[in-house]
Amino acid sequence: MSNSSIRDTFFEECEELLEALVEGLSAMEENAEDMDVVNAVFRAVHSIKGGAGAFALDRLVNFAHTFETVMDKVRSHELSVDESLMRLFHRSGDQLADLVEAARDEREPNAESEAAILKELDTYLGDADKSDDFAFDAVTLDFDAGPVPIDLSEPEPVMRHFDIRFQPTPALYSNGHEPLLLFDALAELGTLSVQANLDRLPEFDAFDPNDAVIDWRLSLETSEDETVLHEVFEFVDALCTLDISVREEGDEPPTSAVLPEPPAQEPETDAEPASPSLVPPPSSEPKPAAQQSAAQQSAAREEPRGPRPTLRVDLERVDRLINTVGELIINQAMISQRIEELELPAVAHLTNELEAYKLLARDIQEGVMAIRAQPVKPLFQRMSRIVREASEATGKKAKLVTVGDSTEVDKTVIERLADPLTHMVRNAVDHGLESPQKRREAGKDPTGSIRLSASHRSGSVFIEIADDGAGLNRARILEKAIEKGLVAPDAELSEQEVDNLLFLPGFSTAAEVSSLSGRGVGMDVVKNAVSALGGRVSISSVPGSGTTFTIVLPLTLAVMDGFVISIADQTMVIPIASIIETIRPNSKDLHCIGTNGQVISVRGAYVPIVDVARNLGLTRERAPIGTGVLLLVSTEGQGLTALRVGGIHDQRQVVIKSLESNYGAIPGVSAATILGDGKIALILDPDELVKLNPGAPFLPPAPSPRMELRHA
Amino acid sequence: MLDVIEAPTETQFEFITFSAGEQSFCLEITQIREIRRWTPVTKLPHTPDDVLGVMNLRGAVIPIFDLAARFGLGTTPDNERNVVIVAAAGGTTIGLLVESVSEILSVDKSAIQETPDIKSEAARQAILGVISVGENMVRVVNLDAVLDNEMGGAV
């Protein structure tokens, strides 16, 4: 393992630790007295410091140390957490993240903010703490790195006697615990002898099989700590009366300890869940191996209850797997098609098997897709920092509330959503929320709240950014749009239409350009980013009570539902999501405009018709009026449009294959897919399609919107 | 130009020779993934003439170029012997339609001559060198140049 890969692992872990840190800090905000949370935060900082020490990242160590020392004071109740300290902690957390990032990229971190925060942190420290030098740290770090090996190489030779009184309650049995197993675990720790106390055993007639009448006295000779013994009983703690006492060396062992033979068997054993006779004779001497494993076990158990075990896998491997599974789906479709072509008699069981195969393939696909899915939590957590920074910069008070942060979304979506979301959250603080004074006047809590929520709904992911501010000032938006020449001065717009003006390029409403938002890159960037992911953004706003932006995204980028259509002599696919309705044109609804234009009347409105084959340059002739099928789509560029296609053949889920990886972007085509017969079908992009110049022989391929985004 | 295919320890190179536009070309064997029979491809709209379309190669969508058209030697006529050479360079996989594949040529490094100083810059870009085989001259195709100019139309 090379040094650099260890380093990489460290930074990966740092990310997790920072995540835990942010989470802990926000939990502290709820309840600063919860020592578990404080400890978790402390541990996170400490672990970062430990790792950083190993890589001689002195600045990081230095900062983490100061942070940790203040945290330690909180831990030891020397300091109480108030609002300003909490804010400092948040900023320290941010700074720590910056330092980690700077160390990872081998950049110079921002020394100014670091010094400022260090100074503030120092004010919380007494003089004694300041003199703390870091040589001392190095020692703790080393110890951090390997507590387990130390335990193993130096097993404490001191053997001690423990007397244990164990009296289970009936609940212990009904919860499925088995005293025998507990005794087994104890026997592994050292020499154990067990004595059952049958005094309370009733007469046979009065015996209740559900009652617990036996209690035990155990004597254990072991080198282990008392805490290890307690751990054995960890899960039954509340279900029994447990008394563990240490007998000092040299004490006379009580008589019970030398009673290895099982006590007399009770007659009604069958009914009793654990009979003493089942207790194995204790091992005569402690086995080093058993001891070791016990030591390991105890070491493992001492670990804080961390997240569920996970596996780090190279993303490329996952993508390869996804690709192969995509193949499987296509292959399955091909086999189905072939079998259909054979026209076997209906009695053939093949159809059942085929159906099972189909379901299995879908299952596998869903499972594999789930690997790529990640919770939005880290993304949301990052936003808490944005809210903090934005509120500080604007002098407003804001808190972030996240809902549904365990909602899982495709990894790519999460990555590409980071920028738009940052922008929207900043906007929400900057433009959405009012100043504390205005809020107070309006009778609201001076601290504004930004609510970030994620949820799954009918195959889509919904992400909402809601503020409880003043709502959109529609009059101002309209005024601004007219001023900028984005709409005609006499335009009559509905509320919805006014709201949507925000998405026009170059629109910014903040009266003064603040350092935060209003830099010209506005909501149009957000909209483009979201639509590049196959999603859409919408706004709803209630004056006085806030604005909500809703982003709707497809669940996965790898599969989509589409109509299989024919265009000229080719088979293509069009995303179902973009289609509003399909129309089989009635010749009386079709009208010509000029020499080339055609429109169709749809419930009284005239909608332009775009001939897909001509726009793609596949044919020069215009399809005779009244043929084919029209697909009504809503496009960004020209609103409602009817796309004329040859016909609709099928509706199916298709696996999206990028064209860009091996060739490049083609106007009007978003990607390709492979159909059941193994042929490639192009997936159309209606928005781009209508922009194309019909009949143009060759246009240089425009850079794809996705490419633009990557640089944005 | 030659150092693109230069390997320090090996002096022996193997090439697959083929003809396109009635000229002899070859590609280094390590760049070739497979050779397959021509099957109809899915045409792409708004593409230059040398882009025939895309083909399904075990789940990957790969573009097929008409090599002769790409080199400005006219389009390859339909023929039963036409084959597609699937080649990979720098992470991209493409298919090249050629008239026919002839043989595997094993030559010494010294046998590869520098491209004669011809006027056409494009041709010099596309040809790494030439090998003399009997009375024939075989041109070593620079796959990178074919890929580079992918978006820019015919070379």
Q: Give residue-wise pLDDT tens across range A247-274.
A: 755 444 444 444 444 444 444 444 444 4
Interchain CB distance below 8 Å, A618 and B151: no
Listed in sequence order, the residues at least 6 apart from B71 whose beta carbon sits closer than 8 Å to its beta carbon are: B20, B21, B23, B123, B126, B154, B155
Q: What is the mean pLDDT of residues A403-429?
A: 85
Q: Which residue has the higher pLDDT, A2 or A505?
A: A505
Chain B nearest-CA distance from A535, in A, is 25
The reported pLDDT for the residue numbered B86 is 93
What's the pLDDT tens digit per position in A130-154? 444 444 344 344 444 444 444 444 4
- Cα pseudo-dihedral A263, A268, A271, A276, rounded to 10: 0
Question: Residue B86 falls within a domain, yes or no?
Answer: yes
Count of domains forming chain B: 1
Question: Residue B106 falls within a domain, yes or no?
Answer: yes
The reported pLDDT for the residue numbered A146 is 40
The reported pLDDT for the residue numbered A693 is 62
Interchain CB distance below 8 Å, A663 and B56: no
Residue B122 forms contact with A (CB below 8 Å) = no
Chain A residues in contact with B93 (beta carbon < 8 A): 662
Question: Residue B6 falls within a domain, yes or no?
Answer: no
Question: Residue B3 falls within a domain, yes or no?
Answer: no
Chain A nearest-CA distance from B4, in A, is 22
Q: Which residue of A has its CA nearest to B88?
A: A662
Residue B46 forms contact with A (CB below 8 Å) = yes
The model's confidence at residue A565, banded by pLDDT at 50, 70 and 90, is: very high
Instruction: Of A611-625, A629-643, A670-684, B26-40, give the lowest mean pLDDT range.
Output: A611-625
In chain A the first and final C-alpha atoms are separated, in Å, by 37
Query: Which CATH number is B116's domain given?
Result: 2.40.50.180
Instruction: Of A165-179, A638-652, B23-37, B127-141, give the lowest mean pLDDT range.
Output: A165-179
- List phi, psi (to 5°) of A584: -95, 110
Question: Residue B1 falls within a domain, yes or no?
Answer: no
The reported pLDDT for the residue numbered A386 is 85
What's the pLDDT tens digit per position in A6-50? 777 788 888 888 888 888 888 887 777 777 888 888 888 888 888
A160-302 maps to which CATH number? 3.30.70
Q: What is the mean pLDDT of residues B86-113?
A: 87
Chain B residues in contact with A327 (beta carbon < 8 A): 58-59
- Kindly indicate whether the domain formed by A3-145 is annotated with CATH number 1.20.120.160: yes
- List phi, psi (to 5°) of A129: -70, -35
- Compute the mean pLDDT over every residue in chain A, rounded to the nearest whole number: 74
Q: Domains of chain A: which residue ranges?
A: 3-145, 160-302, 315-374, 376-554, 559-711
The reported pLDDT for the residue numbered A712 is 32
Q: What is the mean pLDDT of residues B114-140?
A: 81
Contact (CB, 8 A) for A680 and A673: yes
Across the interface, which of A324, A617, A672 has its CB nearest the CB of B61? A672
Task: Give the single-character DSSP code of A268.
Answer: T
Residue B92 forms contact with A (CB below 8 Å) = yes
Q: How many CB atoms lie within 10 A of CB A685?
A: 22
Across the interface, which of B48, B59, B61 has its CB nearest the CB of A662? B61
Q: Which domain holds residue B74?
A: 12-150
Chain B nearest-CA distance from A684, in A, is 11
Chain A residues bordering chain B (beta-carbon distance below 8 Å): 323-324, 326-327, 330, 570, 616-618, 657-659, 661-664, 666-669, 672, 674, 678-682, 692, 696, 698-701
Chain A residues in contact with B149 (beta carbon < 8 A): none
Chain B nearest-CA distance from A94, in A, is 38
Question: Residue B2 falls within a domain, yes or no?
Answer: no
A376-554 maps to which CATH number? 3.30.565.10
Question: Residue B45 falls within a domain, yes or no?
Answer: yes
The model's confidence at residue B16, banded by pLDDT at 50, 70 and 90, is: very high
Chain A nearest-CA distance from B33, in A, is 15
Listed in sequence order, the residues at least 6 apart from A592 whose beta carbon sits closer than 8 Å to its beta carbon are: A598, A599, A625
Contact (CB, 8 A) for A656 and A674: no
Across the interface, which of A663, A696, A699 has its CB nearest the CB of B54? A663
What's the pLDDT tens digit per position in A344-362? 776 667 878 888 888 888 7
Q: Which residue of A has its CA nearest to B48?
A: A698
Contact (CB, 8 A) for B97 and B52: yes
Chain B nearest-CA distance from A336, in A, is 17
Chain A residues in contact with B48 (beta carbon < 8 A): 698
Contact (CB, 8 A) for A499 and A523: no
The reported pLDDT for the residue numbered A558 is 67
**Structure-token match 């580079």, residue found:** B148
ipTM value > 0.85: no
- List phi, psi (to 5°) of A366: -60, -40
SS (H, E, C) A456-525: EECCEEEEEEEECCCCCCHHHHHHHHHHCCCCCCCCCCCHHHHHHHHHCCCCCCCCCCCCCCCCCCCHHH
Chain A nearest-CA distance from B133, in A, is 33
Residue B39 forms contact with A (CB below 8 Å) = no
CATH architecture under which domain A559-711 falls: Roll (2.30)
Question: Residue B66 falls within a domain, yes or no?
Answer: yes
Burial class (CB in 10 A: 0-12, 13-18, 19+), B80: exposed
Task: Give the single-character DSSP code of B91.
Answer: T
Interface size between A and B, measured as CB pairs under 8 A: 77
Across the interface, which of A662, A681, A692 has its CB nearest the CB of B62? A662
Q: What is the mean pLDDT of residues A533-559?
A: 81
